């Protein structure tokens, strides 16, 4: 696996990549002037026809890094068949990429089709017709794509580009078998691009199976943006609700994103915050896709200042000026923490990220700190909350409620109170 690094140029602009005029018109219309580091280094590799494995943190411009050279190729050499397949873990990310694609491709004549689960029979028939007509670029989640492939609706014999975006997320979600089934039916003579925010060993194993002598670009691996002010509250589980209310009372930002670990917690938080007078909306898997899009639009336009979400949004939301991110629960693994707090301090903005650490999550959060090579400041609880637990990840913590010890249900069958 080769390392690639393009010398950084002080005043590099998109014209320097020799894109077609139609593509440059789209970039100009969207206000794109200077490439980000991942675009600056990645675009020439793709233009040279090389496979690529790129690791860069959320919010660094990875989407345009692979879309722009693909669009440039299809604009310079028009086609009637599907030439690029982009596989992503979630419908939110699929829609985000397709929206960016439509803006960049506005003047090029390149069309796209987005495939994701959750639609009805009419959606499936519409997708089938679009596939038959030869959409130039397909953006898809693995499950929905396999459904169409099994029915013979896809035509990939002329496929030129395969892109795996958020590859680490797809592996964590258990999509590895689906991905390999899809790749087995694609032409071997293709250019493959793998983008990931983190680079654990399993990603390198996947890359070795599907990429041919790839260039590797690594930017800020497993590190949060430096402009994110991180802090943590060490709390008992039953102190979280009061702590979030006190935290939000002192925040004047009009864009606050709160992550909770389960759909039920998201619903409960939504109710608690509404009762406390906050303008809040929740987004989770029970909502229809149209409802999700409406909520996201309201959050993006600042009509909804507070959004509560499950992890489905940790990588699939593209908003540049989120002021505060709150981890109501510690994420399931260290990589997810990077993605969650990566929703803030994007572009030129600063941001804040807070995490609530309950006793049972202390070891988990300690591993996150180890990954980042950073000790997150443990903040004092508001006076009216009471005393929280000691932060001591090396010690087996008892789970306390209201100053009394209570067992929680685990492998030994004790009752769980949360």
Order of all β-strands in the sheet with 324-327: 280-283, 306-309, 256-259, 324-327, 351-357, 228-234, 377-379
The helix (run of H) or strand (run of E) holding residue 40 is helix 37-47
DSSP E strand stretches across 274-365: 280-283, 306-309, 324-327, 351-357
Is residue 344 domain-shared with residue 316, that is, in the same domain?
yes
Structural domain including 356 reads: 228-394
Q: What's the confidence (pLDDT) of residue 55?
A: 86
pLDDT greater than 70 at residue 369: yes
CA pair distance 85, 98, nearest whole angstrom: 12
User: What's the mean pLDDT in 372-378?
Assistant: 87
| Residue 154 backbone dihedrals phi, psi, to 5 degrees | -100, 150
pLDDT greater than 50 at residue 200: yes
Is residue 191 domain-shared with residue 248, that is, in the same domain?
no
The helix (run of H) or strand (run of E) holding residue 245 is helix 240-249
pLDDT greater than 70 at residue 308: yes
Question: Is 411 within a domain?
Answer: no
Average pLDDT, the chain: 84
Is residue 176 domain-shared with residue 239, that is, in the same domain?
no
83 close to 159: Cβ distance less than 8 angstroms: yes
CA 281 to chain centre: 20
Q: What's the confidence (pLDDT) of residue 158?
A: 94
- Percent of the chain topping pLDDT 70: 83
Give the length of the chain: 418
Q: Do the bridges between strand 112-115 and strand 400-401 make them parallel or antiparallel, or are there none, so unpaired?
A: unpaired
Q: 334 or 293, which is more confident?
A: 293
Q: What's the confidence (pLDDT) of residue 133?
A: 82
Is residue 157 domain-shared with residue 270, that is, in the same domain?
no
7 close to 37: Cβ distance less than 8 angstroms: no
User: What's the mean pLDDT in 84-103?
Assistant: 92
Last residue of a domain, one of 219, 241, 261: 219
Q: What's the confidence (pLDDT) of residue 287?
A: 82
347 close to 318: Cβ distance less than 8 angstroms: no
Q: What's the confidence (pLDDT) of residue 4?
A: 44
Most confident of 33-42, 189-198, 335-344: 189-198
pLDDT greater than 70 at residue 1: no
Q: What's the confidence (pLDDT) of residue 120?
A: 67
Question: Is 98 within a domain?
Answer: yes
DSSP, collapsed to helix, strand or coil, labels residue 285 as coil
For the four alpha carbons of 258, 263, 267 and 268, in that order, the dihedral sign comes to negative
Give the residue from 13, 21, 82, 22 showing the smallest Cα distance to 43. Answer: 13
- The tokens of 99 are what? 């929206």
Is residue 196 domain-shared with residue 313, that is, in the same domain?
no
Q: 180 or 60, which is more confident?
A: 180
Question: Is 143 within a domain?
Answer: yes
Q: What's the confidence (pLDDT) of residue 311?
A: 67
| Residue 367 backbone dihedrals phi, psi, to 5 degrees | -65, -35
Question: Is 56 within a domain?
Answer: yes
Is residue 82 domain-shared with residue 47, that is, in the same domain?
yes
- The tokens of 242 are what? 């009061």
Q: What's the confidence (pLDDT) of residue 256?
A: 92
Question: Could you read off the pLDDT of 385-414 as tens digits, one per residue?
Answer: 999 999 988 765 444 434 333 333 333 333
Is residue 271 domain-shared with residue 386, that is, in the same domain?
yes
Question: Is 413 within a domain?
Answer: no
Q: What's the confidence (pLDDT) of residue 71?
A: 98
Question: Could you read off the pLDDT of 267-289 as tens digits, one per residue?
Answer: 999 999 999 999 999 988 788 87
Question: Is 404 within a domain?
Answer: no
Write the CA distances from 90 to 80, 388, 408, integer angstroms: 27, 36, 33
Q: What's the confidence (pLDDT) of residue 34?
A: 81
Q: What's the confidence (pLDDT) of residue 297?
A: 87
228 close to 344: Cβ distance less than 8 angstroms: yes
């Amino acid at each position: 696996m080769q390392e690639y690094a393009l010398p950084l140029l002080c005043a590099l602009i998109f014209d320097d990549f020799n894109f077609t005029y139609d593509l440059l018109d789209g970039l100009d219309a969207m206000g794109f002037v200077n490439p980000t580091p991942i675009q600056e280094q990645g675009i020439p590799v793709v233009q040279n026809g090389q496979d690529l494995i790129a690791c860069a943190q959320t919010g660094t411009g990875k989407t345009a890094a692979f879309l722009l050279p693909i669009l440039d190729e299809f604009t310079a050499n028009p086609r009637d068949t599907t030439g690029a397949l982009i596989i992503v873990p979630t419908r939110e990310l699929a829609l985000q990429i397709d929206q960016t694609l439509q803006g960049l491709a506005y003047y090029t004549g390149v069309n796209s089709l987005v495939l994701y689960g959750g639609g009805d029979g009419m959606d499936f028939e519409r997708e089938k017709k679009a596939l038959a007509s030869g959409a130039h670029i397909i953006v898809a989640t693995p499950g929905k794509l396999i459904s169409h492939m099994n029915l013979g609706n896809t035509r990939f014999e002329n496929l030129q580009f395969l892109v795996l975006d958020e590859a680490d997320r797809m592996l964590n979600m258990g999509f590895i078998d689906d991905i390999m089934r899809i790749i087995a039916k694609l032409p071997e003579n293709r250019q493959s691009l793998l983008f990931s925010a983190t680079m654990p060993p399993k990603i390198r194993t996947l890359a070795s199976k599907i990429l041919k002598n790839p260039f590797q670009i690594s930017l800020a691996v497993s590190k949060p943006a430096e402009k994110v002010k991180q802090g943590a509250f060490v709390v008992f589980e039953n102190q979280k609700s009061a702590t979030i209310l006190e935290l939000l009372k002192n925040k004047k930002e009009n864009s606050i994103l709160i992550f909770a670990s389960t759909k039920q917690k998201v619903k409960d938080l939504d109710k608690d915050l509404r009762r406390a007078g906050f303008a809040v909306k929740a987004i989770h898997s029970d909502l229809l896709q149209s409802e999700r899009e409406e909520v996201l639009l309201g959050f993006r336009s600042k009509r909804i200042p507070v959004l509560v979400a499950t992890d489905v949004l940790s990588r699939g939301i593209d908003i540049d000026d989120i002021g505060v991110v709150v981890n109501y629960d510690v994420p399931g693994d260290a990589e997810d923490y990077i993605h969650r707090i990566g929703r803030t301090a994007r572009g030129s903005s600063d941001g804040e990220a807070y995490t609530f650490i309950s006793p049972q999550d202390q070891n988990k959060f300690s591993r996150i700190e180890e990954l980042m090579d950073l000790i997150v400041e443990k903040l004092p609880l508001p006076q009216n909350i009471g005393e929280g637990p000691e932060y001591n990840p090396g010690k087996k913590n008892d789970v306390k409620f209201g100053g009394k010890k209570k067992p929680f249900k685990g492998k030994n069958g004790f009752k769980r109170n949360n």
